[in-house]
Amino acid sequence: MKLIVALCLSLFALTSLAVVDGHKYPFDNEIDKGRFEVLAEELRCPKCQNQNLADSNAPVASDLRDKVYELMNEGQTDDQIVSYLVARYGDFVRYNPPVQKNTFFLWFGPGVMALIAFFIIIRLTRTNKKSQPLSEEESTKLAELKAARSEKQES
């Protein structure tokens, strides 16, 4: 099972990194290579905001990939590299925005909406299920109908 998951994940990584010419960023170990791939996927291209650094062909994305590679080779940690770019391009370069005042809605909005929907569904289904007992008039009518039906079947 674990193997299958790992294989699926690795396929995912292959497709999204297709644009980045791998030969341009040589690493001497697999750990750094993985780090670079994760960073390039988690950082957003500021010019074309719906693409990450790995996917984008924009010149600025290429510059930022070079910078990430350069900083990595200087021995900076992932956090240091991300904050380096955030200091220059703002939180917009992160696909994984920090939890802060102006991102509360982004982080908790979907959960809150799901909860609201959940309560509405519960209320709607509960109220529908409640059935009133038949009034006397209705019961006699029902009995009549039943009798008429059985007579019809017998004949």
Q: Smallest distance, Å, CB 95 to other proteins? A: 15
Chain residues binding other proteins by CB under 8 A are: 46-47, 49, 59-60, 63-64, 67, 86-92, 116, 120, 123-124, 127-128
Q: How far is the CB of 74 from other proteins (least distance, A)?
A: 15
CB nearer to other proteins: give 34 or 90.
Answer: 90
Residue nearer to other proteins on the CB measure, 34 or 98: 98
3-state SS assignment for residue 4: helix
Beta carbon nearer to other proteins, 20 or 68: 68
User: Residue 69 CB, nearest distance to other proteins (Å)?
Assistant: 13
Shortest distance, position 45 Cβ to other proteins, whole Å = 8
88/149 with CB nearer other proteins: 88
Nearer to other proteins, 25 or 44 (CB): 44
Q: To the nearest whole angstrom, how small is the minimum distance from the Cβ of residue 79 to other proteins?
A: 16
Contacts of 13 (CB under 8 A, 6+ apart): 37, 41
CB 55 within 8 A of CB 19: yes
H helical segments located in 17-135 = 30-42, 59-73, 78-89, 104-129
The set of residues, in sequence order, having a beta carbon less than 8 Å from that of 51 and lying 6+ positions away, is 44, 45, 58, 61
State the Cα–Cα distance between residues 13 and 41, nearest whole angstrom: 9
| Closest to 52 in 3D by CA, of 6, 101, 13 | 13
